[in-house]
Structure 1
């Protein structure tokens, strides 16, 4: 009998030791928070018209740059300008900093605004037309540089769905004559609210005025009312070619943005642009004498 009691007590002591050791181990192991926090490389502006749980996702390019995406109408766009430094097949894109070499380039090239790396990372790289048209492709698989028609589709969707900011006032406006962009200084056109959709595309930050004259529908007027579409266009500026001033130089950061658009299976390039003291998304054909010397940003769209 005594022997049985001793065995029972021994078993109880052993169990107590096991429980104590287990508790000690659990206390020594750091607790892991089960909540996963995703840290973005850029700040996405809050907008009540965007369902972030459904409309925004991310994608990587060949250089592992991360882009957020958003669906506007039936189109899916990247939320950032392209930052890739290699073509889709892995070939390096030359980074040309020297102005003379940039103006004489006979192959695809990119640069950072003012040759400052942080500008390229924040605003996206600037590419010449030869890079935009290269059949090795800049965009990641499943994506492409938008065509003129796809930009027009975006314009029409915003105009037809209440994203216009204009007041129907008389405004200076950019026009296109003989496939060349000219400034119609002193000429006025009547506009309608639906046509002035640049504010709905422009981000709520970075934009600065380039003129003392500001209209209510301008991008620069009350930045808090910008970006109702969620497109988040930054004023990335661009690089002029020799055909414009006889020299290459960087212009327009914080005041404007310029993107490339393609037409006719990539054999022609167009300029898509917005300016801080205007309210339009403009599309013009790039002149043959300037297109290879210009450095523009690229905003990609998803293949259908």
Structure 2
């Protein structure tokens, strides 16, 4: 079921960017990715409720129905992008030889892991450290989801204004927020504010990374865009693993935030190096159909 995930969001981002036109492409990408953020706020709780009320099979059936409706809507509503060209697999793979593509994927694969280092263990942090009652966890996760929605939308706007500088600013903010969350987690109010900012800064990074891959991919647009989500899934595994390691070493439930800040700092360093080494593009984002 997870196989189409990266390919769908990669192609959907390219189509949205091509339909939006110059100057609005990162925002168009952010609207496509908004579905992931909305799923955190609405979809996951709804599926959980449905699974408990009617069995887990009902939740999967509902997802299948939504998927079928989506396919129908794409055929009816989404136009064929203008200027679509046929690209050979060899041309797609050639994009992986470009240093800017590899660096951008590394930023997502490492730096984005900082957010997952916190999110994976958020229930224990909020209950055992912040002192929030376990019954409030759905609301706590909703706060995180709202942060993701906010960051996703703002990230697209920032990336359209100045892609590289915007990404550096967002990655810097994410590093600082993760470090401060280790302190903020000791009080319920500051913990919730910090969690909102963790979700916001983390998700704000994604539209810009997608746009940057599209900028440097040349004719390898589809593969480069799809690999962005592969990198983010790798970040999920890396962040969760590192967060578990520092907890197992006895550093407590605030330590994943510091480990996450370290990951974000490494991602920031990679990004800064890539920006300094980048050639000047002819235009902000290059897309093909």
| TM-score for both structures, normalised by structure 1 | 0.21
| TM-score for both structures, normalised by structure 2 | 0.22
Structure with more of its chain in helix, by fraction? 2
Instruction: Answer with 1 or 2: which has the greater Rg.
Output: 1
More relative contact order in 1 or in 2 (CA 8 Å, sep 6+)? 2
